[in-house]
Amino acid sequence: MKKRIGIIGNERSTYDEKDQHTYYFSYTPRDFIQGFLRANSLPVILPVGIVEDAVAYIEQIDVLVLAGGQDIDPKYFHQARHPLLGEVFEARDEFELALIKEAVKQGKSIVGVCRGMQVLNVAFGGTLYQDTSLTDYTLKHVQSPISLEHPTHDVTIKETSLLRQFLPETYKVNSYHHQFVDQVANHFTVTAHTTDGAIEAIESTYYGNTIIGVQWHPEQSCHTHPLDQEFFKYIVENL
Ligand SMILES: [Mn+2]
């Protein structure tokens, strides 16, 4: 039976001039779907839903994937909103935190990408820098206008990490984030960092399940970079 990968959805709206109507969509980047399909799994999108249904959602999946998106509300790490905080999505924060809690209870692995890694860190008690300006990091972590298909900065990956089972010690990744992990959650290990000191990956097996977070976007580069496709293969075959 194929492994069921539950990817948390996001929402967006488009105003259609011709129809004079705003359409609202629940979605996840298609690249996640394609990466997981190529890895011979069964990806499903979990739309932002009702917190009380977290148990039922997690029962239906084998691995929970937290995708990129808005900034998490800093109230979850006991900070006031900084003026440079980006857009937040309260219902998504609440739903994701409920899914994470339930995934731990049911022993299901969790993978977080970009915002997803940051939400994981916050869910387990860590904190974030709300904006790059609050750090002394010097690399360009928002690489636009360079396409995310093209990795732009190196990360050094810890030898004993799960990531090192399919990635080399020095690896180039794409970068599209203005927030960073600050204090790492208890029982988590930093498994990748940049030369400027930014945390780019975290892992934990302390809670009985496997939890991996990466700050980069393997789903945006997996079509052209085989090692980024390995990320999906590893999740499907090992988590
Ligand atoms: Mn980065």
Find the CATH number of the domain harbouring 17: 3.40.50.880
What local confidence, expressed as pLDDT, does residue 148 receive? Answer: 96
CA 114 to chain centre: 4
Q: Ligand 1 center to residue 225 CA distance, Å?
A: 17
Q: Ligand 1 center to residue 27 CA distance, Å?
A: 24
Give catalytic residues, as residue numbers: 114, 217, 219
Share of the chain above pLDDT 70, in %: 100
The parent domain of residue 61 ranges over 4-238
What local confidence, expressed as pLDDT, does residue 59 receive? Answer: 98
What local confidence, expressed as pLDDT, does residue 163 receive? Answer: 98
What local confidence, expressed as pLDDT, does residue 138 receive? Answer: 92
**Predicted confidence band of residue 226 (pLDDT cuts 50, 70, 90):** very high
Average pLDDT over residues 76-101: 98
Q: Ligand 1 center to residue 175 CA distance, Å?
A: 4
Report the domain count for the chain. 1
**Predicted confidence band of residue 99 (pLDDT cuts 50, 70, 90):** very high
Q: What is the mean pLDDT of the chain?
A: 97
Question: H or E stretch including 58?
Answer: helix 54-59
What local confidence, expressed as pLDDT, does residue 10 receive? Answer: 98
Q: Ligand 1 center to residue 105 CA distance, Å?
A: 31
